[in-house]
Amino acid sequence: MNATFVGMPPFPSAARDALADSQLRGNLAKATGTIRAKRAAVVAEVDDWEELRLAGAALKDRALLDLDSKLVQLEESLTAAGAVVHWARDAEEACRIVASVARDHGVDEVVKVKSMATQEIGLNEHLEAEGIAAWETDLAELIVQLGEDLPSHILVPAIHRNRAEIREIFLRRMAEVGRPAPADLTDEPVELANAARLHLREKFLRAKVAVSGANFAVADSGTLVVVESEGNGRMCLTLPEVLVSVVGIEKVVPTWQDLDVFLQLLPRSSTGERMNPYTSTWSGVTPGDGPQEVHVVLLDNGRTRALADEVGRQALRCIRCSACLNVCPVYERTGGHAYGSVYPGPIGAILNPLLRGVGTDEQVDSLPYASSLCGACFEACPVRIDIPSVLVDLRAQVVDAHRPSAKPEAVAMKAAAWSFGSGARLGVVERLSGVVGGATGRVGRRRLPGGRAALSRVPFGAAWTRSRDLPVPPRESFRAWWKRTDGGRS
């Protein structure tokens, strides 16, 4: 029932398929254009926006560069407030912890608040394998889950779907898993949202166990924060008896007061609003109000690997606003699926290699190249992650990870070094080149500006010559010409 990114092809081939989908490109251009305009308008209202960005970056760095003591402090505050704290080295361990809490309460379903961390660890798939249904309750996540589809945006995972497609998914699938969509459903967004309200309400009202992530975890007060719009978060955080929150260790902020900076940066960067409709904060258990059993799973799953990367560790500042996706010329054209991960776009192009390491997976290694390095992402980032610099550093890491190699480029470079190494060898190569030039000059139909013959495709460098013309080698080398004409005098 749940789709997976496992086995996705590397970015260039995935992108080629996406670019051929004109419906997808239309949906994306419309959606990213809308959100860019909204963000620009509300950011312009704040005259100290740059100071806020600097403060946000520094606050996150203060937590990250002192992460061991901040995590211990967070654990103490949470425990003092009545929460049970778990630690998870990796996805498997985190999934097992959540599943065991659900099993302890004998439930066969949980309701979920939209959470990147639980998507990253494949929690829904794990729970499904244990016979526990995980209902996504965010509207876009519901669209993705019912459509047996993959998320393509951090904030709006169904950004690649238009209203007509959403209507079709609701009509086809809602009845199988609960209250059916109204038979006369149209594709008006208001009606679609209402169908989701009715479908999910029965699940909220009966749920015993909820699973969430957290946007922020405050070390000094043990407070978790969930920022949302629809109220599905409030439903999950308030009505069930048991709440399990899976929180990446990079979500820590030092103090309660620091939230003032992030609660200004996040909504304006994310949905382009002065403030999102609902923000919930809670510190452990409140007697008589909300879940009376509260678990927090502190998740590593590659974050410490990213933290060890001196250039890349700044990616852990990310507050998952998705502003970098919306301004990226590459993302706008390929969409999120081509990145093969729950973290798409510019931030995904650095976060995935940082979390998972380079040199072992062709798909991951392709991501640092999924960028034109234009820098729009850095400008939009509310916590000033210098994504282009990290991309360049990761490209170097990818190259290093594949050295020494017998790739065609390496062989060609070695051959070039050998022939340039001595005049005699170069002379031999030039004579050979002249023969090739003489032969291919007659078959090359294409002409470069200036009239020189060119080859549009050669069999051994197809990827390179697909979009570039290769000049045909001259029949006579410079040295041969010099010798024949006595330096041009005869």
Partner 1 sequence: MSAREEVLARVRAALAGAPTPPAVPPVRSGRPLEELLDRFAERVADYRAVVVRCAEDEVEERIALALDGARTVVPADLPWEVPGAVPDEGFTALELDDLEAVVTAAAVGIAETGTVVLDHGAGQGRRALSLVPDLHVLVVRADQVVAGVPEAVARLDPARPQTWISGPSATSDIELNRVEGVHGPRRLVVVLVGSEVVGRGSTLGGVGTVGGSSASH
Among 257, 405, 456, 485, binds partner 1 (CB under 8 A): 257
Question: Following DSSP, what letter does each residue of 187-216 receive, concatenated?
Answer: S-HHHHHHHHHHHHHHHHHH-SEEEE--SE
Task: Provide the sign of the torsion angle of the four alpha carbons 13, 14, 20, 25, taken in this order.
Answer: negative
* CB distance 56 to 195 below 8 Å: no
Q: Which of 90, 98, 117 is nearest to 300 (CA)?
A: 90
Q: From residue 275 to residue 314, what is the string marking binding to partner 1 with x (rule CB under 8 A)? A: xxxxxxxxx--x-xxx-------x-x---xx-xx-x--x-
Contact with partner 1 (CB under 8 A) among 27, 145, 269, 363: 27
Q: Which of 269, 253, 258 is nearest to 379 (CA)?
A: 269
* 48 or 148: CB nearest partner 1: 48
Under rule CB under 8 A, residue 30 binds partner 1 = yes
| Amino acid at site 8 | M
Applying CB under 8 A, which of residues 139, 214, 347, 377 lies at the interface with partner 1? Answer: 139
Residues 411-470 contacting partner 1, CB under 8 A: none
Q: Answer yes or no whether residue 232 interacts with partner 1 by CB under 8 A.
A: yes
CB of 108 to partner 1, least distance (A): 19
- Nearer CB in complex with partner 1: 10/153: 153
Which listed residue (14, 18, 67, 181) binds partner 1 by CB under 8 A?
A: 67
Q: How far apart are CA 348 and CA 370, in angstroms?
A: 10
* Residue whose CB is less far from partner 1, 303 or 395: 303
346: exposed, middle or buried (C-beta count within 10 Å: 0-12, 13-18, 19+)? buried
* Contact pick of 8, 19, 58, 392 for partner 1 (by CB under 8 A): 58
Q: What whole-number distance in Å separates Cα of residue 85 and Cα of residue 78?
A: 7
CA atoms within 13 A on the CB side of 162: 10
Return the number of the residue (11 or 204) whose C-beta is nearest partner 1: 204
| Shortest spacing between CB 377 and partner 1, in angstroms | 19
Choice between 235 and 349, CB closer to partner 1: 235
> Which is it for strands 209-212 and 242-248: parallel, antiparallel or unpaired?
parallel
Out of 43, 59, 91, 381, name the contact with partner 1 by CB under 8 A: 59
Among 5, 9, 19, 62, binds partner 1 (CB under 8 A): 62
> What minimum distance in Å lies between the beta carbon of 454 and partner 1?
45
Alpha-carbon distances, residue 438 vs 11, 36, 425, 456 (angstroms):
39, 55, 20, 17
Residue among 131, 189, 329, 408 that touches partner 1 (CB under 8 A): 189
Alpha-carbon gap, residue 153 to 337, rounded angstroms: 8
The amino acid present at 282, given as its one-letter code, is W
Least Å from the CB of residue 169 to partner 1: 12
Nearer to partner 1, 46 or 374 (CB): 46
Contacting residue, 126, 173, 234, 320, with partner 1 by CB under 8 A: 234
* 3-state SS assignment for residue 282: strand
In the complex with partner 1, which residue's Cβ is closer, 116 or 454? Answer: 116
Sheet of strand 446-447: strand arrangement: 446-447, 453-455, 470-471
Q: Which is nearer to partner 1, 182 or 471 (CB)?
A: 182
Q: Please, what is the minimum distance in Å from the beta carbon of residue 197 to partner 1?
A: 6
Give the one residue of 79, 229, 292, 433 binding partner 1; rule: CB under 8 A: 229
User: Is the Cβ–Cβ distance between 133 and 120 less than 8 Å?
Assistant: no
Options 152, 215, 221, 245; binder of partner 1; rule CB under 8 A: 221
Q: Is the Cβ of residue 383 or residue 453 nearer to partner 1 in the bound state? A: 383
Residue 190 is a binding residue for partner 1 (CB under 8 A): yes
Pick from 197, 194, 178: nearest CA to 186: 194
If binding is defined by CB under 8 A, does position 194 make contact with partner 1? yes
Q: Are 301 and 355 in contact (CB under 8 A)?
A: yes
- The rounded Cα 91 to chain-centroid distance in angstroms is 17
Q: Which of 332, 327, 137, 154 is nearest to 232 (CA)?
A: 137
Closest CA to 366 of 399, 335, 322, 389: 399
Query: Which of 256, 311, 465, 471 is in the footprint of partner 1 by CB under 8 A?
Result: 256
Q: Which is nearer to partner 1, 101 or 472 (CB)?
A: 101
Among 12, 17, 48, 468, binds partner 1 (CB under 8 A): 48
Among 116, 143, 318, 381, binds partner 1 (CB under 8 A): 143
Specify the residue, 140 or 472, whose C-beta has the smaller distance to partner 1: 140
Residue 111 CB, shortest distance to partner 1, in Å, is 11
